[in-house]
Chains A and B, each alone.
Chain A
């Protein structure tokens, strides 16, 4: 890293803390969730390398890496890098519409939101990472955990076709960093827990670089999602069309 970059990054961090540290009383639950989205992902277009390690009892762990491109909050392309056997498979999300591209078929195929990309990680966990657009928030309570104050928010899906019906989210009051979330089906069934860990400087501000998603139904079944090389960059709109998938092959 160039020495001149260090003060710039430092200033960016200070600025991000300043802006995320607005007085809590002024924020509505929905605004807090919006702040959480800003912590999790850049507002601008960005690219990131995502590694998903899936662990299941009595099975070898499965590790898949993806090149991910995100435009705005509703368009994502996920391209499989490894394992080699799956290299070139792609997933496109445009709002709530999904397409998959398989090199051996060489054409985009419309798929449902529900189809899995890998392991216990739903498509929406990687491709759709904005709570504020999909859920309405309600403040349940405040909690103090290890000397820090947290909002505990209940998120209710605005529509049927989102990844989870309901979620409970713990958010640090000082920084708006998410600590953990519990996800539930629309029926109320507890599905999984997500821990937001290893906060690191990604695309100009501190963000969780590691998510641990633990299955609530099967003991010792969990997935670890790790983010690296997150970079903001303007991405053309056409990259996020099903016709363009073949050009990324």
Chain B
């Protein structure tokens, strides 16, 4: 797969170079270089990332109605060559990568727009959380810590949009399936298999459905702006983006054979400004969700339940300077069973994000905390950014995980880390 990506990336680069050298007025080549360093706090394996990353993107106009964008990313992480504490499979997965990212052609005619190619489609109103953001698969090899536009994996799709006054409508068709990328076994952010402590297990590779019309994904979203209320609703006929962990138990040994299953998602979103407070929310309902169970009598270790995730939040700027965001996050499983692994009938969490700038925007400080109200489980992310020129930024931050091992953040409590980044945009 990496070989294919490298070829894509090289072709893209040559293409961009060709365009920018000959048609400087019509095409624009921009890029970002990032040096990212992560230093793990609670472990002896201190440096977990020494990554250099290059992102290139080319945009251009082909005619009055046609535009294009081509973008790619290459990264190399020296930590896998300097230190020897990661096994071969982790090194192979995360040492370097080259990928084609958002690359598409846009057609615009009257109220219609069509985007063909590899792209991100983002639904939802929430800040810093994926709830209604269900369309694109995610690269979770660094969990939810990178920028969201880098977590989302651009997918090949047909995206048809219609806008008329305050009404907006979107139809998407995804013929090429893409699934979440997770950390491989022993990687810092590998997701654990649902087995009791001390149990031994084996696991097959997930079996992916084949690409084709029958297996393709399709979605529709409509929104309407009325009296300042931005109301939206969507339906997405999809697949589980992470595999469902079916299993058998033989003589006390768990054997997992992960599979991707069809998934229907129905959602609604809203936002409204009231007296300088922005109120926003999103709700996503899954008529048939898949959950692992701890019940050893279950024949395959999986049950289906309908459930809903929703977020309600507000934004406000205090004293003209301090941007504040609060969000309440809940998952409700009406037909709850105590055997559902790491779930509750109602699971509640909150997030708070505060940011402000200093010294005439030279320095930006932000603080994000996401915390469960049901059990000790939190992620805390303070960060300070220094714009030392108009195109260079240095930042110092921390990603602090705390909580029980069964929590969505607590399970990575050994991966709390300090981070340093240097970003250059050109």
Interface residues of B in 372-426 (CB under 8 A from A): 387, 390-393, 423, 425-426
Q: Which residues of A contact B317 (CB under 8 A)?
A: 112, 114-116
B252 on the interface (CB 8 Å rule)? no
Do the beta carbons of A103 and B315 come within 8 Å of each other?
no
Do the beta carbons of A237 and B275 come within 8 Å of each other?
no
How distant is the Cα of A61 from the Cα of B30 in the complex, in angstroms?
A: 25
A96 on the interface (CB 8 Å rule)? yes
Do the beta carbons of A110 and B106 come within 8 Å of each other?
no
Indicate which residue in A98, A106, A119, A244 contacts B361 across the interface (CB closer than 8 Å): A119
B316 on the interface (CB 8 Å rule)? yes
Do the beta carbons of B360 and A247 come within 8 Å of each other?
no
B3 on the interface (CB 8 Å rule)? no
Could you tell me the distance in whole angstroms from the C-beta of B223 to the nearest C-beta in chain A?
A: 8
Could you tell me the distance in whole angstroms from the C-beta of B424 to the nearest C-beta in chain A?
A: 8
A113 on the interface (CB 8 Å rule)? yes
A192 on the interface (CB 8 Å rule)? no
Contact with B along A59-77 (1 / 0, CB 8 A): 1111000000000000000
Interface residues of B in 221-276 (CB under 8 A from A): 223, 225, 228, 230, 271, 273, 275-276
Do the beta carbons of A96 and B362 come within 8 Å of each other?
no
Do the beta carbons of A237 and B391 come within 8 Å of each other?
no
Contact with B along A91-121 (1 / 0, CB 8 A): 0001011100001111101111111101100
A160 on the interface (CB 8 Å rule)? yes
Could you tell me the distance in whole angstroms from the C-beta of B316 to the nearest C-beta in chain A?
A: 7
Contact with B along A75-89 (1 / 0, CB 8 A): 000000011110100
B125 on the interface (CB 8 Å rule)? yes
Could you tell me the distance in whole angstroms from the C-beta of B6 to the nearest C-beta in chain A?
A: 25
B320 on the interface (CB 8 Å rule)? yes
Could you tell me the distance in whole angstroms from the C-beta of A61 to the nearest C-beta in chain B?
A: 7
Do the beta carbons of B149 and A106 come within 8 Å of each other?
yes
A207 on the interface (CB 8 Å rule)? no
Could you tell me the distance in whole angstroms from the C-beta of A101 to the nearest C-beta in chain B?
A: 10
Q: Which residues of A contact B125 (CB under 8 A)?
A: 109-110
Q: Which residues of B contact A107 (CB under 8 A)?
A: 122, 124, 133, 148
Known: A97-B225, A241-B168. A106 touches B148 (CB 8 A): yes
Do the beta carbons of B320 and A247 come within 8 Å of each other?
no
Nearest chain B residue, comparing its CB with the CB of A246: B122
Known: A119-B360, A243-B161. A85 touches B147 (CB 8 A): no
Do the beta carbons of A87 and B361 come within 8 Å of each other?
no
Total interface residues on A, CB under 8 Å, equals 42
Q: How many A-B residue pairs have CB under 8 A?
A: 113
Question: In the complex, which range does the number of interface residues on chain B fall in?
Answer: 35 or more
Do the beta carbons of A84 and B425 come within 8 Å of each other?
yes
Q: Which residues of B contact A54 (CB under 8 A)?
A: 360-361
Interface residues of B in 19-40 (CB under 8 A from A): 30
Q: Which residues of A contact B316 (CB under 8 A)?
A: 112
Known: A84-B391, A161-B275. A106 touches B152 (CB 8 A): yes
Instruction: Known pairs A60-B360, A105-B147; list 14 more (Cβ under 8 Å).
Output: A60-B362, A83-B387, A83-B390, A85-B387, A85-B390, A96-B273, A104-B147, A106-B152, A109-B125, A110-B271, A111-B315, A112-B273, A115-B317, A119-B360
Which of B106, B223, B275, B361: most chain A Cβ within 10 A? Answer: B361
B277 on the interface (CB 8 Å rule)? yes
Do the beta carbons of B230 and A112 come within 8 Å of each other?
no
Interface residues of A in 7-61 (CB under 8 A from B): 54, 56, 59-61
Contact with A along B345-370 (1 / 0, CB 8 A): 00000000000000111100000000
Contact with A along B198-231 (1 / 0, CB 8 A): 0000000000000000000000000101001010
How distant is the Cα of A61 from the Cα of B163 in the complex, in angstroms?
A: 40
Could you tell me the distance in whole angstroms from the C-beta of B373 to the nearest C-beta in chain A?
A: 25
How distant is the Cα of A98 from the Cα of B273 in the complex, in angstroms?
A: 9
